[in-house]
Each structure stands twice: as structure tokens, then as C-alpha cells.
Structure 1
Amino acid sequence: MRAELLDTEAALAAVRPEWEALWRRADARPGGTTPFQSPAWLLPWWEAFGTGQPRIAVLRGPSGLLGLLPLYRLEEGGTRKLLPMGVGITDYLDALLDPEAPEGAAAALLRAALSRPGDDTPCDLPDLPPGAALRAAPAPEGWREEGWTGEPCPVLELPGTVEALRGPVPANTLRKLRMARHRADRAGSWSAATAGEEEVLPLWDAMVAMHQSRWTRRGEEGGVLADPRVLGFHRAALPRLQEAGALRLYALRIGGAVAAVFHALAAGPDRLLFYLSGFDEARAFESPGTILLGHAIEEAIAEGRREIHFLRGGEAYKYAWGGVDRVNAGRRLLPP
């Protein structure tokens, strides 16, 4: 097992094919992986937000790439630290490990990333979900550690059939879903579907407009999509996620017009991650968000998925659908 450090953008681009292959293999590990660890997500992130210098630790064995930890060195406003690529707009962060990676692989990646001669830069590792390899990996010898509790990330455990949703999902929520569907039928019928390749960008633009309009009216200009860099990141990432088979863009139409769009990500065969949404507030009476969320959950069950991840934040609707908290954690590693 041999650790290397990649610290140029050319090296970052060159490792992409191996990285993608590793990401696909890594889903066979206990707990699987997520699109947040894929090059389809993190390379567009670097293009949009990358500052400073990349510092990607890789671990190689006789059969090829065994592990990858993509960090970067930030120097900004007097701040000097190592951070994971994706930080800020990524809900789950972690190293990527092959199913055959030996015990101690995550610790070896940390040592490679942090133990550069003459560099004593501290490292922050936020948004580590339960089961993350970096959550348990020991710090390099002599390094000190601080930790913190991150945000809750509610998860709905799915039953095997739609009929069995009455177990994990509160009856009141299912009653609201039936009522919303009846109202949408009376308003001119409704349909929900996953976007095909040619629909992705038009539906994304519709979702952005609805999201920004809603949050601007609530006094938060543009919501989380106010920053042009965030919009640029997503427009670059969407086709790459689609090509990787990870993108799920759900659209609801009422009377033929788009009323809601959900941006979700498929994490292996078992999990669906709800990332962003937008809905037409003029259709609030029909509750388009409720209808589309119900559709996406039912489709996930039909696909054999076992979990819906509502991601960071304790918004009330997540618990109304039966979400149960799983809490991220953070680590700060300080040099000797």
C-alpha cells in the first residue's frame, strides 16, 4: 500500500477516470457511498469554488487505486487551513475507499494529506455522517484533535411496499397527501415523472425560478441559490451527475404546467438523497411539494430503495414524513 499526494490541477484532472471507477466500487463497502464523493460532484465544485491549492491524498495497491481524500489548502483573510473539497454546499463528506482497502486505509490517507514536510496547516473535517471512515480514523501521531456535533440529517427508513408506508409515515401526512392529490385532480389533473436527459436543464431553470421567488418573498434574497457561483456549479454538475446515473430530477405538472421540481441524488441502489426543491406558490392550495415528495418516495420503494435522506437541517416537514435524526459530526486536527 503506497500513499501519494497530488497537488496540482493537472494531477486532479488526470486522476478522474480512476477516481470515478473507485467511486463506483466503493458502494460495495458497508454503508455505501454517495454522489457527493464522486468526481461528477467534486470537480465542478472545484471549478466553481476552488481557491488555494488542491491536496489530494491517494492510496495505491497492486491492483490500483484503493483510496482517495480530496482536500485543498485555503489561505483567506488570515485563515490558513485544509478543508475537504465540496465543503459548504455538500451535506455528507468523507474519504473514498475501495471495498478491498485494508484496515487503516483512512488513517493512511490522513497522514499523507497532513504530514507534508514543513507544513503545519490545521485541518477541518466537517459534515461527517455516521459510519464515515474519517469519523473514526485516528489522527497522525502527535496531532491534537477537537470535535463538534454537526447538523441533524433526518432519514426515513422505507418499508418494502407503498401500502406499508402507514408504518413509518404518520397517518396525518398520508391523509394530507391524499387530499392534495384530489385537489390537483380537480385543478386539471396532475402527473409526476423523472426528467429525461433533454429535460434536465429546462426543469432545473424552472426549479431555480420557483425557489428564488419563494425565498425572496420570505426576505432571503434568492435563498441558497442566490450566489451566481452556486448556480454555475449546479449547471456544470447536472449533466455529469446525469451521465454518472446519480441524478434524479422529479417534476410535478398540474394542468400541464410545472408546479414543483425536486433535485435528488441516487446513492447506490438503497438510498435517495433529497437535495433541493422549488414549487409554484400560486399552487399552494394543491400542496405541490407534498404531492411530488409522495411520488418520489413511492418511486423509491418501487426501485427497492431502503432509505430517504432529507439531508442537513431540522425542518418540520422532514419529521412530518417520519424522518429520524442522524447527526453529522466534525473534527479539527491541529498539528504538533
Structure 2
Amino acid sequence: MTTGQDASARTEHRADATIPGPRTGHPPEVTVLRDPAAFAALADEWQALHRRCAAATAFQTHAWLHSWWLSYGRPGRLRVVLVRRGGVLVGAAALTVRYRGVPVWVPVGAGISDYADVLVDPADPGNTAALADALRTAARGAVIDLREVRPGAAAERMYDAWRGPRRRLPDSVCLELPGRPMDDLIARVGSSSRGQRIRSNLRRLDAAGVTERDVPPDEVASAVAEMLRLHLLQWQGRGVNPEHVRPRFRAHLTRACTLMAASGDAVVSEFTMGGEVVAANLTVLSPALAGGYLYGAHPSLRGTKVDVTTLLMRHGVRHAAGGGREVLSLLRGAEPHKFHWRPEHVTNHRLLLAARPLTPVLHLRAALAQGRTRLAARARRHAPVLHAWRSRLNDWRATRP
């Protein structure tokens, strides 16, 4: 152990010819990094591995993870487990330690990432087991708690290869649509009147003169600031997520999205009407998926004939179907306006892993997680009252320094 502007153009940026490809037939070499500077230095090597992992999302890019660490990481808590073969990185997991009676290793990016995963080069089936064994050795005495694992992720294969106590639990539900042209998505709604309403909304967008543009990397910082300003205006008085107004969140998005816009892993877009920016949106991109992460829309749009949901869906279709991606993800959140499009409900998984001596602790954490799920279901049955209370609480939190 040692310490240490368009879819085609964005696709071209994903190539990286400076890093050697995967090697098979070499024994695995394991490294555990605790030094943030060493994590920062992994950027090129990490991204080369990320490009070889078809199931990985933008939330596993080095830009997103390292930026999260700079905003949210705590000194001494970083644990980056790496597996190399012949000097080439073939497996990686970025984790951080939290203490809940026992040490718990959770993914870097937890809390604000819709999907968590590890990176495993698919060229050699043994890479998955090698990373699982490396994590089991490095985290001995701790529980590994991987939340928001998307079906088909590399972490699921690692779970299958795990040699020790493990539990799989349901986690958040993400809503997904196929990456198809708008006409195909309208046909999915199953109601001629609803389909006509969507087409009418599209015509109104054109009549209102709404235009959109993808912001170049050198303008991302100002565009993110404007998006967050509009986001706060949009939710003011209705329970804004207090994290979205904190300086650390803004700093993270600015850093990460500037790099991700340049590499084709994200796009920040602005929508203008009458020469004024009335909405802005952040979309995360991967070869298989385009996902709307965060948006802000000026409240004045409520008094116009511009339907914000249709605006964002048209934008998402451009980057999903237009970029050859199979999935248009609406990510986490069950807002009512999303259901008009009849999306698929795809449940993320929570994977709990431990070495054998921690079996009782593992089951206790699983029981606590299941208890929280039952409480959340009960809360939904009393949604109107609880939502009003939570909205007032979040508005109060958002105004605190």
C-alpha cells in the first residue's frame, strides 16, 4: 500500500491518445491514496479510464469528483483505491470516510451526485474482482456504503464479486425516457389531447422567440452564477434546496462544469427571450445518457405562454437523440410535471459491503436504511402538510449565512 458547441464536437473531445490503453496478463498492483494533491494529479489517467467505461456517467469524471472534494472533503478522510496492470490504471474508486459508530466509506460526490459508481476497465474480467479485493483489504474494519448505484453500473458487478458480507437495498428512483426524437416522445404520452398540448407548447416557444445556446467553457462561470440566481428566484417561497444557495455548491459547479464543458461531459445552456436570459440549465453527458441536473427559470415566465417543462424537454432531446445517446434521464426527483411524459421508473441501488467481522454492523445499517425508507413512504402519505413545513424550513435555511 502506498500513499501518495455541438454534440459531434463534444464527442471528439472525449478521445485521449496520450494515455496508454489497458493491458492484460499483468498482476494487479494496488495503491490507496489519501493525499488530495495525489488525487488531483490523477486527472489524465482517471479520465482515460473513464472513457473506457461505457456505463460510467458524468458523476464519475475526475473533474466532478475532485471538485466535490475541494468543496466538501474533510482533511484526512480521502480514500482513493486504484488498481493498475502493467502500469495502466484499470480500476478506481474514490471514497471518503465518515464515522457512524464505525468507519463508513462513502463515494466522493455523495449527496449531490445522482449516480455513484466505481470505474473498472472491461478489457479484463479479472479487473472487477481485483478492485473488489483491493477495497475489501483497504476498508477492513469499515463498512462501504455505495448509494445511488444505477442499474448496470460497474459497482453492481463488483458487488457480485464481493467476498464478504453484503446487502443490496433500493435507493432513489430516477425517471428516464428513451433518447428518441421529440415526435417519438410525444407519441409515448398515450393521449391525443396531451400530445396536442405539447405540440402547442412547442409552437408557442417558437412564437415567443425563445432561443438557446450552449455556453463555451470560458463563459461557464458567469452562466453558472446566473443559473443559480434564476434557480433561487424560481423556488423562492416554495422551499429551495438550501445547499443550492451555498457558496461551496456554487464553487463546485463552477470548477467542475468549466472542465466538463471543455471535455464534453456537461453543457451549460442559456435560454433568451427578447435579448434577456430567462432560463439556464446544466445537462450532464455520457456516451449513453444525457441528464438534466439543475435549471433556473425566471418567475416572470409563469405569466407568459412559455412552458418551461417543454422548453427543457426540447433541450434534453437535442442532447440525447441529437447526440446518439440511448437515454434522456430526468434524474432524481418525482416532480409532477415529469410524469406527463410517461417516463420509466428506474430504481437506483444501495450496496452495503463489509469484511466478515462487521456482519452485525452491516445488518444494522441495512435495517436503519429500510426504516428510513418506511418513514419516507409514510411522509409521502402526509405530503401536503409536510411539504409546506419543509418549504418554510428550507426557505429559512437558505437565508442563513
**Normalised-by-shorter TM-score class:** 0.7 to 0.9
Counterpart CA distance in 2 for 1:47 and 1:115 is 27
C-alpha offsets along residues 49-94 of structure 1, whole Å, 9 cap, x if unaligned? 112322111111126111111112224x756311111111111111
Counterpart CA distance in 2 for 1:120 and 1:47 is 26
Match of 1:262 in 2: 281
Counterpart CA distance in 1 for 2:281 and 2:72 is 24
In structure 2, do the counterparts of structure 1 residues 73 and 6 end up closer, same or farther at CA, with 3 Å as the change threshold? same
- How far residue 263 of structure 1 moved from its aligned partner, in angstroms, is 0.5
Alignment: residue pair count:
324
Counterpart CA distance in 2 for 1:145 and 1:318 is 34
Match of 2:237 in 1: 217
The yes-or-no answer on 1:168 pairing with 2:195 is no
Conservation of the 8 A alpha-carbon contact between 1:213 and 1:222: no
Name the SS for the 2:321 alignment partner.
helix
Match of 2:261 in 1: 242
Counterpart CA distance in 1 for 2:88 and 2:260 is 24
The yes-or-no answer on 1:131 pairing with 2:152 is yes
- How far residue 11 of structure 1 moved from its aligned partner, in angstroms, is 2.5
- How far residue 16 of structure 1 moved from its aligned partner, in angstroms, is 2.3
Conservation of the 8 A alpha-carbon contact between 2:186 and 2:341: no
Match of 1:154 in 2: 175
Match of 1:322 in 2: 342
Structure 2 counterpart of 1:114, from 128, 132, 136 = 136
Counterpart CA distance in 1 for 2:193 and 2:243 is 30
- How far residue 224 of structure 1 moved from its aligned partner, in angstroms, is 4.3
Name the SS for the 2:65 alignment partner.
helix
Letter paired with 2:137: S
The yes-or-no answer on 1:56 pairing with 2:68 is no
The yes-or-no answer on 1:276 pairing with 2:299 is no
Letter paired with 1:108: A
In structure 2, do the counterparts of structure 1 residues 178 and 271 end up closer, same or farther at CA, with 3 Å as the change threshold? same
C-alpha offsets along residues 220-278 of structure 1, whole Å, 9 cap, x if unaligned? 2555412322112111111111122112122221222112111101112x321111111
Counterpart CA distance in 2 for 1:139 and 1:299 is 35
C-alpha offsets along residues 293-320 of structure 1, whole Å, 9 cap, x if unaligned? 2233145323322210111122222221
Match of 2:248 in 1: 229
Counterpart CA distance in 2 for 1:55 and 1:231 is 24
Superposition RMSD in Å: 2.3
Structure 2 counterpart of 1:24, from 43, 51, 56 = 51
In structure 2, do the counterparts of structure 1 residues 103 and 182 end up closer, same or farther at CA, with 3 Å as the change threshold? closer
In structure 2, do the counterparts of structure 1 residues 328 and 244 end up closer, same or farther at CA, with 3 Å as the change threshold? same
Counterpart CA distance in 2 for 1:330 and 1:309 is 19
C-alpha offsets along residues 138-179 of structure 1, whole Å, 9 cap, x if unaligned? 4654x32233210111110133x4433333345555433433
In structure 2, do the counterparts of structure 1 residues 235 and 283 end up closer, same or farther at CA, with 3 Å as the change threshold? same
- How far residue 121 of structure 1 moved from its aligned partner, in angstroms, is 1.5
TM-score, normalisation: structure 1: 0.87
Structure 2 counterpart of 1:45, from 68, 71, 88 = 68
Counterpart CA distance in 1 for 2:273 and 2:62 is 36
- How far residue 182 of structure 1 moved from its aligned partner, in angstroms, is 4.2
The yes-or-no answer on 1:94 pairing with 2:117 is yes
Counterpart CA distance in 2 for 1:191 and 1:253 is 5
In structure 2, do the counterparts of structure 1 residues 47 and 312 end up closer, same or farther at CA, with 3 Å as the change threshold? same
- How far residue 126 of structure 1 moved from its aligned partner, in angstroms, is 0.7
Conservation of the 8 A alpha-carbon contact between 2:50 and 2:119: yes
Name the SS for the 1:106 alignment partner.
helix
Unaligned runs of 5+ in 2: 1-26, 358-401
Name the SS for the 1:70 alignment partner.
strand
In structure 2, do the counterparts of structure 1 residues 174 and 199 end up closer, same or farther at CA, with 3 Å as the change threshold? farther
Counterpart CA distance in 1 for 2:315 and 2:33 is 43
More helix by share: 2
TM-score, normalisation: structure 2: 0.74
In structure 2, do the counterparts of structure 1 residues 35 and 172 end up closer, same or farther at CA, with 3 Å as the change threshold? farther
Percent identity over the alignment? 27
The yes-or-no answer on 1:10 pairing with 2:31 is no
In structure 2, do the counterparts of structure 1 residues 298 and 134 end up closer, same or farther at CA, with 3 Å as the change threshold? closer
Unaligned runs of 5+ in 1: none
Letter paired with 1:332: L
Greater shift after overlay, 104-113 or 275-284?
A: 104-113
